Every structure is written in C-alpha cells, then in structure tokens.
Amino acid sequence: MVTVFIPAQLKELTGGITSVEVEASNIRQVVERLEQLFPGIQQRLCDGDDLRSGLQVSIDSVMTSRGLIAKVQPGNEIHFVPAFGGG
Amino acid sequence: MANKRHVSTTINGEPKEFLCAPHESLLEVLRDNLGLTGSKEGCNNGNCGACTVILNGRPVDSCLVLGVEVEDAEVETVEGIADRNELHPVQECFLEGAALQCGICTPGFLVASKALLEKTPDACEHTIRYNLAGNLCRCTGYDKIVRAVQDAGKRMAESN
Amino acid sequence: MIKNNGNGEYRVLGTRPVRHDGADKVTGKAVYTADVQLPGMLRGFILRSPIAHGLIKSIDTSAAKATPGVHAVITSADMPDVGDKIADLGEGAVNLKYLSGNVLAQDKVLYKGHAVAAVAAVDIHVAEEAANKIIVEYEELPSVTWVLDAMQDDAPLLHDDLHTDSMGAKSENPSNICTHMHFEKGNIEDGFAQCDVVVEREFKTASVHQGYIEPHASVGDWNEDGRLRIWTATQGSFSARQQTAEILQIPIGDVVVTPCEIGGGFGGKIAVYLEPLVGMLSKVSGRPVKISMTRADVFEATGPTPGSYMKVKIGATNDGKLIAGEAWLAYDAGGYPGGMIGPGCMCVFSCYDIEHAVVDGYDVCLNKPNTQAYRAPGATQVAFATEQLVDEIAKQIGMCPLEIRQLNAAKEGTVRVDGPKYPPVGLVECLEALEESDHWKSSLDGPLRGRGIAAGFWFGCGLKSCATVTVNHDGTVNLLEGSTDIGGSRTSLAMQLAEVLGITSDDVNPMVGDTDSVGYTDVTGGSRVTFATGLAAYTAGRDLQTQMISRAAEEVWDCSPDEVTLENDGSFTHNGESKTFKELASQLFKHGEPLVARAAVSPENPTNGFGVHVADVEVDPETGKVTVLRYTTIQDAGKAVHPSYVEGQLQGGTVQGIGWALNEEYFYHDNDTVANASFLDYRMPTMLDLPMIDTIIVEAANPDHPYGVRGVGETPIVPPPAALANAIYNATGTRMEQLPMSPPVLWKQLQSESAEA
Amino acid sequence: MKPFDYASPSTIQEATALLEQHGDDARVLAGGTDIIVQLREGLRDAEIVIDVKKIPELTALDLCNEGGLTLGASTPCCDVYETPDVAAAYPALADSAHIVGGWQIQSRASVGGNLCNSSPAADTIPSLIAHNAICLIEGPTGTREVAAQDFCTAPGRNVLESGELLVTLRLPAVSDSESSAYERFIRRNEMDIAVAGAASWIKRGDDGNIADARIALSAVAATPQFAQEASEYLVGKAPTEENFSQAGELAKNVASPIDDMRGTVEYRVNLVGVLVKRTLATALARIQGDG
C-alpha cells in the first residue's frame, strides 16, 4: 500500500478526504485506483496518457520527472505538486 | 544616404584607416567595420559602459562617439590592453579575483579601470566606485571588481 | 570565508583556479552572439507595437519591401500555424499558440513592444528605416497592468478563449486569471485559534527586469540543405532548438543551435524571441540574418518577472512558535499564460515549520510582456511579505528576530505546504553562522540606522545533463558538456571531473557543445548546472576510471580487474605498483583504442538552498533615501566547488535583490505603455550604490550529490527586499508594504506617519 | 539612426556660416552625449551635424584673477573638475560637472552642451546661474551676451536663433570670501537625472553675515530657475542653519514641478528646501575652509 495525498484543490472530488492508501506499483496505477475511488479525479491529474502539464509527482519527498511510469514501493507517500524550474 | 568618409586614426597604437558614414558610431565602426568586437553594446545610449574605449587618453562610451570624430585621434580598446601575450595587471587581477561572471561588461570595466589606475594608481574604494559607476555589471554585485581594481593598482605600483 | 562542516578533504574542490574561458573574456576574444559575423549576413530589425492592447486590423509591408537594401519582411502571416498544442520544454510546458504569438503577434498585440513584423536588410540602419515604413492599423483596446484590476470581471480581456484552470477544472467564463492554485496543510481555523498573536498585511511589488547587460541576439542561417543553424544568446541550447523547431514547424533534427558566450540571463534567456525570426528571415532572404535587440526592446518585450499583490497572515504563540499561516497571492503572467505563481505558493512559508497553512495563488494575464523566470522566480515577492511578518511577530512578543527564526526554521522532515518533506537542509546552520558572524555581533550606532535579517529558500532543480570525456595523449582530458556557461560553470564542472580523476583543473579542457555534438542537456537555470551537470562530469569520470581499470588489468598488469585498486587520489595500483591517472591514460593511449567516457544523468530531487541575510541601513528622513551600510549574505552551498564563484553568485544575487528592494520598477504611462525602457530610468544599482557584500558559505552536504553540492545561484536574490525592509523598520519604525522602497515612497510614508503622530 | 552629413569647422565663422546655411536642419555636436542619443532615438532630426570641437575658442579654459573664468562651450566636464584652480574657484560648477553621467560621459559632455540641450534637469545650469555666468553667442549678425539665467526658454529650447552658436561662458571672478555648491537628489548615487537640484553661491561680508547670495534650481520647473526671493532674503543675514532653512522654504516659491516617474510635485518641492539648505551649508563650510 502507498499513501496518496489528495491535492487540496481536488478535495471536492473526495468528499474532503485528504489522503488514501492504495495498492499500486507505479503512478499510473495510483491514478487508476484514485479514479475508481473518486470518479473524475483522473482527468484533473492527467491530460491524455500523461500527467497534466505543470504537475509533477513527489514520492517520499523525492521529485520524479517520470510521471505515470514512476515506480512506487509499499509505504511510499505520494504528492502531486506543481512543477518548478528556476531562473 | 550620406557619402562615406575616409577616416585616419590610431587604434591600439597602430595607424588605421576606415570608411564610415557620418551616422555610424565609433562602436559600430569598431565592431562591424574593423572586427574589433571586444567592445560590447549593452544599451547604445551611454548608460552601461560596456562599450568603453579610451579616446585621446580619456574613457568614453564609444556608442556616443561618431566614427568620423576619431580622425587623427588615438583610440584604445580592450583588444589593446594586453602586451602581446602578457596580460595587463588589471586583466590578471580580474581573472585571479573572479571579477567577472558572464563577461559581457568586462571589456568596458577593464578599459575604464586601466584609465583610472593610470590616473590614480592608489585609488581608494570610494574613488573606484565613483569612477566606475558608469559601468554596469549585473552578475557580480561589484564586490570582486572593486577588489580586483585595488589589487591591480598595487600590482602596477610594484612593477614600476 | 568558508565554514566547513567536515565534508572530507579535497584536492581540487574548494580551490580557486582561474577559469578556463578567462583569458578570452579579458581580452575581448570571447564570441558572444552579437559578435558572430557570417559571409553575406544581413541585419534584422523588429517593428513593435506602440500600444499596450489592440487588434491588428491590417499590416502593409509594401513600402518596406520596396526599400533598397531590404531582403526580407515578415509578419505572422509568414509563420506556420502551430495549432493549439502543449509542448513540454523540460523546465515547463507551454501552449505553442502562445509561444508563437509572443514571438510575432498574430491578430492582437498584448503589450507595448510586442513584435509585429521583422525586416532583414544590408545594415541595421536600413532595416530600421524600412521597418518604420510598415503601416500597421490597430484597433486600440482598453488595457490593464495592475494584477488586481486584471482579475475583475469587467477587466479588459486579453484572450477570449482563456478559462481559469483550477488543477484541471476550467472556469465557465473566460478570464484573465489563467491559473488558480490552492494548498492546505493542517487545519487553518484550529491553527489560528491556538495563536496568541496574529499579524496580517497586504503587500504589492512592481514588475522588475532581469537586467542582463547583453541584449538578446540571434543569428540564423537556413542552409541550402534544409538545416537551420542558429547562434544565439540562450540559457539552454536544446530548449531553444525545440522552441524554434516547434514554432517553425520543422523537425527538431533539422535545427542546430550553437550557444555562444552569453552575457547574463537570470531566467530571462530561456524563452525564445529572436531565434524563429532570424530563421524565417533567413529562409525568405536566402542569407544569414542577425538580430540584436535594442535595450528598449529588452525592457519592453522580454522578461520581466511578475509584479504581485499579496495578502499574508501569520499567527504564533507567545513563546514564538509559528502555528498558522494564510496567503492569498496574485502574480502577473503578462500577455500570455504561464507565470511564476506555483513556486510563489510553494515558497511563501518554505523557510518555516508551520503546522497549519492555506495558500491560494492566481496567475493573471495583463498587458505586460510575458513574464519570465528571474532567479528563484516567484520566491522574492513572498519572502518580502513573510519575513516582515515574522519580524513583526517577534517584535510583538519581545523575541529577537534571529531567535524566532531559529525556533521555527525548516529542517529535515519539515513538511512544506505543498506536501513534500525536506531531506537534510542547511537553514539552521545558516542561522547559526549568522549568530556567530562578526556582522551580527557588531554594534550599529547612530540615529536612523537599523539592522534587518531575512531568510530565503529556493528549490534548485536537477533535470537532464550529459557529459563526454575524451582523453588526450598526455593524459589531459577534454570535457564536452551542454550547459551554457553564464558565470564560470565550465570551470566548476572541470574541477569536479579533475577531483574524480586526480588531475588538476588545468588538465581539463571544458567545452560547451552545440546541439549536434553533445547529449541533451536542460537549461542553465534552476541553480542546476554545478549540481546536475557536475554530477554528469563526475559520473563520466567514474565511467572513465571503470574502463581504465579493466584496460589496465588486461593491458598493463595482466590481472583481473578486481586486483586493480582505484585510490582516493585517482591513482591506480596493483601489487604495490602505482600509476597516476595521467601515467595510465598515456600508456593506454599508446597501445589500444582511445579512451572516451560519457554520462547522462537526470537527478530529480531539488537541492534545497537556504540562505540568511543581514543588512545595516541608514535612512535620510528628508529625502527617503536608504543607504546600505553593511551587508552579509550567508548561504548553504552544500560544497563550494569554486568558492570565488560561489561568493560571486551570492554577491550578484544579493545586489539584484537590493536593486529590486530599493529602486527597480517598471513605470507606466496612462495608456499602459512602459515609460522607463532604459538603463537610465530603470535604475539598476551602480557600483556607487553599494557596500562590499560579505559572504559566509555554509557547507551542509547535499545527500544527493557525491561531493554534497547544492545549487547556489538563485537563493541569494530572495532575502534582500525583506532584510532591507526589516532594517528600515528597525531604523524608522515604519513598515514597508510595497516594492520598491524607493525614496519618494519611503519619504511619503515617513511624512504621513509623522503627521499622524 | 537616420543618415546625416558631417562637418567639423575650425573657425567660428565657418561654423556660423554652416549653421545659417542649414538652419533648423543643422545640429551642433560638442560632447555628443545628448545629441547622438536624440538623433538615434528619433527625438531630433538632422541633415548635418556640425562638430565644433575643432574650433579653438570652444575648447578654451582660462582663469584669470580679474577676468574670471572663460569656459569654451565644448570644453568637457572633466576639464572643469580636473583643473584645480577652476574647481576651487567655482565649486558648484565642479560639483555639477562631476555628476553629469559617469566618467565616460564627463570625458565628452560639455557645460555649454548641457546648457544648449536646455533640459529642465540639467545639472550644470543652476551652477552657472548661481555664479552669474554670461553666455557669449556668435551669430550671423555678430556677438551678443545673454545671462545664463535667461538662456533657457522651455524644455529643450533656448534663446539661440537660427545660425547662432554658443561660444563661451564667462563666470565672474571670485574672492576668498565666496563659495558655492551644487547638489541634486537622485534615486541612485550616480548615472541618473536630477529629481531636483540646487546650486547656492554665497559671499560672506566682513561682519560675518552674508553679503550676497545666488540660489538656482533644476528639475522643478520648465527651465532652471534663479530663486531671487530666497537669494535676496539671505543678504545681510547671519549664515545660520535657521536662515538657510528659511531660504530653502522661500526657494520653493519658484518651484512649479511636474509629477512624473522621477518624483511627485510634493516630493520635488520638499527636495528644494532640503537641497537649498544643504548646499548653503556646504558653501559656507567651503568659505570657512572645511568643506
């Protein structure tokens, strides 16, 4: 099981739930499980077969640019956060 | 278009002749006609000092000089600071003191610093800051430039 | 000064060699884009919008085309239709329609200076004269340049197809608000209920420009073989290649970008402006074309970084524990969507461990140039707000400003408002270094003098980098990498390679390759080069050593590779026989194939750079002028590879922050056109406006880099406005709620406060 | 920049003949630091640019005890402040010459050019007015003299008629009991245009009181202003901080500034009081030998 933190802006879709535990081995599966639990959430997180532009995933506070194919391990904490670059 | 003028001048100690239209600046002449691209254009209106050259012993913004004005003049650019392969102390001190980052303002600073140190070799921090305020740098915060100019002054005094 | 927390002993790291490109840069030989000369090259000039907002009704280029000496005139009609497609540019994604529209306006101009047409001619004067003969008929529209005005329902709408995005959900009605972000942590009501003291203020900051001294410049040559060669002033050659290819709708492989020496960027030379135009002008004219922007073009049509409105509220207990924070932020996006609001939201409370927080952020289109990154984009604005409120709380509860920061400083395990937890970070160490510093211990006497401190944070990113190492006969090496070198990074990379291999920095010849010759490398930005491309150089060095062990085993010592030992100094030993890197490399060169190593890396974690600044000021109450008397910048560099250039980054960023704090701003005429598009009236700091900037480098190792390196370039711009505001408060008792804190503003505020008193 | 022709006459007569011939299509080039920018930015046009630096009278710099200072109109600012006797005798002029742009600008920009550019914010003009300078103008009909305080007529405009050339500035001789100072307020410390500026000249009488004073202002009206009321107020008064402040208050009466990005009306008027007070104090200190 991994713990997925629901972005505050998507709490309307989860009835206020802020985190859930799901069984998944990569982010694609995380999103699929979320969609089963909270219909409509997938299209808020993804654009077609990719994470929505401007979003990235943090797994145990480690950023990944691998998007949906990033692997997750049991016990991981997952956040969806805005992408940032710099100057 | 006005006819081009023939101009005879001295650049970095060597006699030079060139043709230029009256509305071409010395900076354009140096860069585009003579291939001396060391002098940089940062603003083209005298507010950044990146194009500083020495004209008859004084530092000027070459963007605010017409090419035709340098008839019979002596012009010194960044390309003329080093003596063959020997860097001038001000160049050495900029390098050793990391007084440049992107390097675009560096030619102007070197020319102005050399002019200052030739006039005031022991220039204090305030004198350096006052006289080089016409040269903008956006990378260094100026700290290392001031120190490099001070160091160069000392080195020039030692070698004399 | 270097404060080493015991990272281990290095031979090369921490020394201060002369940079490899130094001699070229002090003799005028270094080739910047404007210095490029190609046979038959034309010069380009861009016609720009004189108005802030309007529809383009018609463009008549006939007189320009008929001008003797003119070889090409283009408008958006000559550019391919890019459609409505999002392109991922590595550091961020962008809608190509907007990217292309910013390069050359389509049906609308969205800010004064928006490019409308471009001319290529035999010289710059002819090109300019011809461009001025182009007749553009505009239907002028109402315009807006203040972010709160642009958010109103009845504001002039820049894009009638733009709907507010709230994490994938779109607003029903079109709006200038491109994005709404929202973050929550803990329970904000509970949080404020626990507080003994709550402070809240509104702040606003003006648009500021990156202010690099080199104007944007590009040279394009659309070759007869169909390939487009570009020489350009860019922070990222691969990003420039991709943007150019996308805008011109040609295959990426048909574009080769050569990054020239670059005269500063600070985030403002990532977006393309000129590259597609010189490409298209070259295609039309059949000649190479160079365009250099004027300084006015740079101010009016590139950068700036967002102006902002911020309302921030922070609560604490009487013993100084920060409990709750709330922020409402609105940032300029400029003419097209895609601003800096995300990092603004993530950084507003990033220096502190605050249990309950809510942040709302809005990215807003208005009639300014499309805003661009500027050194820690979005973070300086929010630090100006938060760091003042933290001081205000300290004042109210009678706590020292340093102590309240030490009590609440973010550290390993602190959860940011956007969710992730920090790995080991160095804010606590920076605050300790401040406490021990001469500056902090010194007294500051005299009326109207004050001292202020502030902390700052920037992520620092990883992204993709490549490096190739080739070995010469004599055991010296060449390092080919793809990060454009803006401030000496060639040398900081060469030093890391030299450290691995046990050679000197001078034994490495670093070179920045073009997009045909080096592996994909992301932009020089995000404080990433010394960290990420440094990691590539390190990894390539390790690859080389692995190859050499195996070759030495076979060709030199006739043993198994496990019997060859790589020593800490980079030498190789077998059975008591030792060979230095250079000895072994020369020997292998003689008898076998050349040695080539490579690395491609994509480190993904931020490097988390924290800094703390302390400023002493004196205020002239009769004029409102602030003089910076003394300034110290403290920052965690993880490991300072070349301390001089780390200090330089700290000093340069600090001074940009001081300029932002005290004077820099865009002024607008009544019709929303920029009034001060020159270095004269934009007023960046000159040498005479500053004291020496003292630096203290803290080295709290980054666990994600073999030498502990963190990015350092961006954080130093974050604290200065707040530190100076706190110092001004300390000197005068007045709180500054707007940037810049220019003399007229401060004078006026002191006047009205003394009238009230 | 649009093309133009160029001439560099070596006599006043040649120059005035060219000026007369080309009328409004001719522009005079002295240091070039204003005119080249204006031509490049299209703010002014020229068919011909007349470089007057080869005319000996225009680069003169002569100081004599009785005759005062003769300053050729195209003499660069740095010559003014780098010539010790001149800088000592006319400190306000040296102050202002030392802050026109940066060093590179001061190497070229001339006091006469600053006057002829006739910007309301010109730094050297208040100093010329405070020192009661006279402008010698040559033209087709001969020579005429105009007081510096009457030279500028509107922003960018002055009394020069078509065909006329400003040749020399003449500043009266000064004694040990007189001194002056110029100070301007800018947001930066160099490379900026005055938000407001003030030049003050005072002469101390044998009784220690002020025997004469001249105060002039820049950047607070359409032209640089002589603050007559404030100047006259000081005559016969003791050189005290209080009187200097009062002179500053009176000088505000000739300030009718505009609101712009450099400062508001209110701010500029305030600065007049501050700068007049400060320059008077500096001038006094200089007379006393500690300025």
Distances (CA, A) of D14 to C489, D56, D142, D164: 58, 13, 13, 12
Distances (CA, A) of C15 to A3, B103, C489, C526, C580: 45, 21, 14, 24, 21
Instruction: For chain B, report the end-to-end CA distance as a whole number of angstroms.
Output: 51
Residues forming beta bridges with residue C22, ordered by sequence position: none
Could you tell me what percent of chain B has a pLDDT over 70? 99
Q: Chain D within 8 Å of B124 (Cβ-Cβ)?
A: no
DSSP structure string for C52-82: SSEEEEEEE-HHHHTSTTEEEEEEGGGSPP-
Distance from CA of B72 to the nearest CA of C (A): 24
Query: Over the stretch C131-149, which tens digit does the pLDDT of each residue have?
Result: 999 999 999 999 999 999 9
Nearest to A40 by CA among A80, A12, A6, A13: A13
Q: How confident is the model at residue C480 (pLDDT cuts 50, 70, 90)?
A: very high
Q: Would you call C623 and D190 a contact, using CB atoms and an 8 Å cutoff?
A: no
Judged by CB atoms within 8 Å, which residues 26-85 of B form the interface with C?
28, 31-32, 35-45, 47-48, 50, 77-79, 81-82
Please tell me the distance from the alpha carbon of residue B8 to that of residue B25, in angstroms, as a whole number: 15
Distances (CA, A) of C658 to B42, B96, C720, C742, D195: 21, 26, 6, 11, 21
- Contact (CB, 8 A) for C660 and C740: yes
Could you tell me what percent of chain C has a pLDDT over 90? 95
For residue D3, which residues of chain B lie inside 8 Å, CB to CB?
A: 1-2, 21-23
Q: Which of C129, C681, C685 sits opposite D261 (nearest CB)?
A: C681
- Contact (CB, 8 A) for C580 and C544: no
pLDDT(B111) > 90:
yes
* pLDDT of res. C91: 62
- In chain C the domains, ranked by start, together with CATH numbers, are 2-30+462-601 (3.30.365.10), 33-142+225-282 (3.90.1170.50), 435-458+606-757 (3.30.365.10)
Instruction: Break chain B down into helix, strand, coil percent, rounded to 5.
Output: 40, 20, 40
Query: Over the stretch D68-91, which tens digit does the pLDDT of each residue have?
Result: 999 999 999 999 999 999 999 999
* pLDDT of res. C13: 97
Q: How confident is the model at residue B160 (pLDDT cuts 50, 70, 90)?
A: confident
DSSP structure string for chain A: -EEEEPPGGGHHHHTT--EEEE--SBHHHHHHHHHHHSTTHHHHHEETTEEPTTEEEEETTEEES-GGG-B--TT-EEEEEE-----
Query: Over the stretch C228-247, which tens digit does the pLDDT of each residue have?
Result: 999 999 999 999 999 999 99
- D-chain residue closest to C689, CA distance: D189
* pLDDT of res. C350: 97
pLDDT(C6) > 50:
no
Please tell me the distance from the alpha carbon of residue C390 to that of residue C320, in angstroms, as a whole number: 10
Q: Chain D within 8 Å of C589 (Cβ-Cβ)?
A: no
Please tell me the distance from the alpha carbon of residue C614 to that of residue C608, in angstroms, as a whole number: 20
For residue B37, which residues of chain C lie inside 8 Å, CB to CB?
A: 28, 31-32, 34-35, 37
Distances (CA, A) of C63 to A36, C21, C128, C135, D136: 64, 46, 13, 9, 47
Please tell me the distance from the alpha carbon of residue C174 to that of residue C591, in angstroms, as a whole number: 70
Residues forming beta bridges with residue C470, ordered by sequence position: C478, C596
Judged by CB atoms within 8 Å, which residues 62-121 of B form the interface with D?
63-66, 68-69, 71, 112, 115-116
- C-chain residue closest to B1, CA distance: C126
* pLDDT of res. A82: 86
Please tell me the distance from the alpha carbon of residue C472 to that of residue B41, in angstroms, as a whole number: 38
Q: Chain B within 8 Å of D33 (Cβ-Cβ)?
A: yes
Instruction: Compute CA C143 distance to the chain's CA centroid, rounded to the nearest angstrom.
Output: 29
The H or E element containing residue B117 is helix B106-119
* pLDDT of res. C77: 97
Going by C-beta distance under 8 Å and a sequence separation of 6 or more, which residues neighbour residue B97? Answer: B144, B147, B148, B151, C644
Cβ atoms within 10 Å, residue C193: 12
Cβ atoms within 10 Å, residue D85: 11
**Residue to substitute from C166, C341, C411, C604, interface A, most A β-carbons within 10 A:** C604
Please tell me the distance from the alpha carbon of residue C113 to that of residue C299, in angstroms, as a whole number: 9
Which regions of chain A are under pLDDT 70? none
* pLDDT of res. C4: 35
Other chains touching C, judged by 3 or more CB pairs under 8 Å? A, B, D
Going by C-beta distance under 8 Å and a sequence separation of 6 or more, which residues neighbour residue C441? Answer: none
Please tell me the distance from the alpha carbon of residue C541 to that of residue C127, in angstroms, as a whole number: 49
- Contact (CB, 8 A) for C212 and C265: yes
Sequence spans of domains, chain B? 5-80, 89-159
Per-residue 3-state assignment (H helix, E strand, C coil) for C240-299: HHHHHHHHHCCCHHHEEEEECECCCCCCCCCCCCCHHHHHHHHHHHCCCEEEECCHHHHH
Which CATH code for domain B89-159? 1.10.150.120
Going by C-beta distance under 8 Å and a sequence separation of 6 or more, which residues neighbour residue C436? Answer: none
For residue C681, which residues of chain D lie inside 8 Å, CB to CB?
A: 193, 261-262
Per-residue 3-state assignment (H helix, E strand, C coil) for C679-707: HHHHCCCCHHHCCCEEEEEEECCCCCCCC
Q: Under DSSP, is residue C307 helix (H, G, I), strand (E, B) or coil?
A: coil
Other chains touching D, judged by 3 or more CB pairs under 8 Å? B, C
Sequence spans of domains, chain A? 2-82
pLDDT(B1) > 60:
no
- C-chain residue closest to D185, CA distance: C623
* pLDDT of res. C88: 74
CATH fold of D5-51 reads 3.30.43
Q: Which of B23, B66, B134 sits opposite D105 (nearest CB)?
A: B134
> Which letter does DSSP use for residue C335 in this model?
S
Q: What would the two tokens of residue C296 be?
A: 């006015």
CATH 3.10.129.10 fits B5-80, yes or no: no
- Contact (CB, 8 A) for C340 and C378: yes
- Contact (CB, 8 A) for D232 and D247: no
Contact call for C and B: 3+ CB–CB distances under 8 Å: yes
Q: What is the mean pLDDT of residues D187-197?
A: 96
Q: What would the two tokens of residue D269 be?
A: 């008027």
Please tell me the distance from the alpha carbon of residue C156 to that of residue D178, in angstroms, as a whole number: 61
Distance from CA of C250 to the nearest CA of D (A): 36
> Which letter does DSSP use for residue C51 in this model?
S
Residues forming beta bridges with residue B10, ordered by sequence position: B15, B74
Query: Over the stretch C423-442, which tens digit does the pLDDT of each residue have?
Result: 999 999 999 999 999 999 99
Please tell me the distance from the alpha carbon of residue C721 to that of residue C717, in angstroms, as a whole number: 8
Q: Are strands B58-61 and B52-55 parallel, antiparallel or unpaired?
A: antiparallel
Sequence spans of domains, chain D? 5-51, 56-171, 178-287
- Contact (CB, 8 A) for C634 and C700: no
Q: What would the two tokens of residue C265 be?
A: 């960027």
Please tell me the distance from the alpha carbon of residue C315 to that of residue C43, in angstroms, as a whole number: 59
Q: Would you call C689 and D271 a contact, using CB atoms and an 8 Å cutoff?
A: no
pLDDT(D173) > 90:
yes
Could you tell me what percent of chain C has a pLDDT over 70? 99
Q: What is the mean pLDDT of residues B35-46?
A: 97
Question: Hey, which CATH number is domain D178-287, 3.40.50.970, 3.30.70.1140, 3.40.50.2000, 3.30.390.50?
Answer: 3.30.390.50
- Contact (CB, 8 A) for C417 and A58: no
Q: Are strands A2-5 and C565-566 parallel, antiparallel or unpaired?
A: unpaired
The H or E element containing residue D225 is strand D225-226
Q: Under DSSP, is residue D29 helix (H, G, I), strand (E, B) or coil?
A: strand
Q: What would the two tokens of residue C219 be?
A: 């040279």
Distance from CA of C755 to the nearest CA of D (A): 15
Sign of CA dihedral C699, C700, C702, C707: positive
* pLDDT of res. A42: 95
Q: Chain B within 8 Å of D105 (Cβ-Cβ)?
A: yes
Q: Are strands C115-121 and C42-48 parallel, antiparallel or unpaired?
A: antiparallel
Q: What is the mean pLDDT of residues D215-231?
A: 98
Residues forming beta bridges with residue B14, ordered by sequence position: B11
Q: Would you call C623 and D274 a contact, using CB atoms and an 8 Å cutoff?
A: yes
Q: Are strands A55-59 and A50-51 parallel, antiparallel or unpaired?
A: unpaired
Distance from CA of C162 to the nearest CA of B (A): 36
Query: Over the stretch C292-342, which tens digit does the pLDDT of each residue have?
Result: 999 999 999 999 999 999 999 999 999 999 999 999 999 999 999 988 999
Query: Over the stretch C621-672, which tens digit does the pLDDT of each residue have?
Result: 999 999 999 999 999 999 999 999 999 999 999 999 999 999 999 999 999 9
- Contact (CB, 8 A) for C576 and C632: no
Query: Over the stretch B54-106, which tens digit does the pLDDT of each residue have?
Result: 999 999 999 999 999 999 999 999 999 999 889 999 999 999 999 999 999 99
Instruction: For chain D, report the end-to-end CA distance as a whole number of angstroms.
Output: 45
- Contact (CB, 8 A) for D7 and D48: yes
Look up the ipTM and state it. 0.97
Q: How confident is the model at residue D291 (pLDDT cuts 50, 70, 90)?
A: low
Which CATH code for domain A2-82? 3.10.20.30
* pLDDT of res. C3: 38
Q: Which of C622, C663, C676 sits opposite D188 (nearest CB)?
A: C663
Q: What is the mean pLDDT of residues C689-705?
A: 96
* pLDDT of res. A65: 81
CATH level 2 (architecture), domain D56-171: 2-Layer Sandwich (3.30)
Radius of gyration of chain B (CA): 16
Q: What would the two tokens of residue C4 be?
A: 């080493």
Distances (CA, A) of D119 to B43, C54, C105, D116, D227: 21, 34, 37, 8, 18
Query: Over the stretch C579-598, which tens digit does the pLDDT of each residue have?
Result: 999 999 999 998 889 999 99
Q: Which of C622, C623, C689 sits opposite D189 (nearest CB)?
A: C689
Rounded to the nearest integer, the mean pLDDT of chain C is: 96
Distances (CA, A) of B43 to C124, C212, C704: 15, 11, 42
pLDDT(B27) > 50:
yes
Judged by CB atoms within 8 Å, which residues 68-127 of C form the interface with D?
125
Sign of CA dihedral C733, C739, C744, C748: negative
DSSP structure string for C399-416: --HHHHHHHHB--TTPBP
- C-chain residue closest to A77, CA distance: C420
Query: Over the stretch C526-573, which tens digit does the pLDDT of each residue have?
Result: 999 999 999 999 999 999 999 999 999 999 999 999 999 999 999 999
pLDDT(C1) > 50:
no
Q: How confident is the model at residue B2 (pLDDT cuts 50, 70, 90)?
A: low
For residue D5, which residues of chain B lie inside 8 Å, CB to CB?
A: 2, 22
| Cα dihedral A57→A63→A69→A70 (10° resolution) | -110
